Amino acid sequence: MKKMMLSLLLAVSVLLPGCSSHDTSSALVIKTSDPTTEAAPTETELLLKWAATTVPADAKLLYSASIGDSQTDFWLIYQQAETGCIRALHHEDKPTSNESSSMLPIQEDWEKQLNEPNVFTSLHSEQSGNPDWILLTSDPAMGQMNKRLYMSSDNGYIWSYIQDVSTIIDGYVTGVTFRDELTGWITAAQHGQQLVPLYRTTDGGKTWAAQPIPIPNDYNYGNVNPPEFQEGDLMNGTLDIEFVKENDQKTFHYVTNDGGETWEVK
């Protein structure tokens, strides 16, 4: 998945009260390209154009992405200004396409005050048949970070709260990856502990356990980046872990050919 964070020009508008409002009468105004240019619009320009006509002007854009190298399959996640409610929008431009727009069932006050670094996603094309996942985190305070996981099984029309994983996932989240409807990973950085924070679920996010990765000799701990799998080839994936010792750090590259059951240094 190709992620593109956008710097958007904001103007003032008024949202209807409550989490069901979706006011697009005052939208973001974005110049996407020189009108005299005849070149086909880029993927970024298409995404910007959709954002400009979809996201309310005073909303906070938290996440924007295209799926794969697509110029038609886009996601936006934004937070409404007055309510703090979070809306996830999915658009796929094809003959049988639909555009979904649904609120996440957030409950906690901290979820109403998010920024771009607080949103982690594992989003998939409609053709894959896999659910889509959003993990929200709070800013770290006193070494702690709140973490709540959401899932949609219908390409973003309805989002369900899965669970609070704050006490399960140790460290500061770096990403989330699901390779299918059951198997996924949440990764983190955890400074100063003999720990490699690579957490895996095999039951759709209901339970999580640290997946054992040996720490190389002389290193103290590892900071883990989310594993990557290509849609259509879910048995083969890659995983990067930065191992740290007192005056040095080194990134080790791991691969799997069994869907993440085991990882070996490349």
pLDDT tops 90 at residue 145 = yes
How far apart are the C-alpha atoms of 136 and 111, rounded to whole Å? Answer: 7
> What CA–CA distance (Å, rounded) separates 114 from 146?
12
What is the structure's pLDDT at 93?
65
87-101, 153-167, 186-200: range with lowest mean pLDDT: 87-101
In SS3 terms, the chain reads as CEECCCCCCCCCCCCCCCCCCCCCCCECCCCCCCCCCCCCCCHHHHHHHHHHHHCECCCEEEEEEECCCCCCEEEEEEECCCCCCEEEEEEECCCCCCEEEEECCCCCHHHHCCCHHHEEEECCCHHHCCCEEEEEECCCECCECCEEEEEECCCCCCCEEEEECCCCCCCEEEEEEECCCCCEEEEEECCCCCCCCEEEECCCCCCCEECCCCCCCCCCEEEECCCEEECCEEEEEEEEEEEEECCEEEEEEEEECCCCCCCEEC
Sheet with 209-210: strands ordered across: 172-178, 184-189, 198-201, 209-210
pTM above 0.85, yes or no: no
Q: How many CB atoms lie within 10 A of CB 209?
A: 11
The pLDDT score that the predictor gives to residue 226 is: 97
Mean pLDDT of the chain: 81
List of residues 6+ apart from 66 with CB closer than 8 A: 1, 2, 4, 43, 47, 73, 74, 75
Determine the average pLDDT of the residues in 29-43.
Answer: 49
pLDDT band at 43 (very low <50, low <70, confident <90, very high): confident
- Which region among 85-89, 231-235, 247-251 has the lowest average model confidence (pLDDT)? 231-235
The pLDDT assigned to 224 comes to: 97
Res 16: pLDDT: 31
pLDDT digits (tens, 9 = 90+) for 46-74: 777 777 777 888 899 999 888 766 567 88
Q: What pLDDT is attached to residue 4?
A: 43
pLDDT given for residue 46 in this prediction: 77
Amino acid 142: pLDDT: 65
Distance of CA 203 to the CA centre of its chain: 19
pLDDT > 80? residue 27 = no
- Judged by average pLDDT, the poorest of 12-21, 84-93, 209-218 is 12-21
User: Residue 219 and residue 191: Cα distance in Å, rounded?
Assistant: 12
* pLDDT score recorded for residue 121: 97
- Asked whether residue 5 carries a pLDDT value surpassing 60, the answer given is no
* pLDDT tens-digit readout, 173-200: 999 999 999 999 999 998 767 789 999 9
pLDDT(94) > 60: no
224 to each of 54, 100, 119, 231, how far by Cα in Å?
35, 32, 17, 21
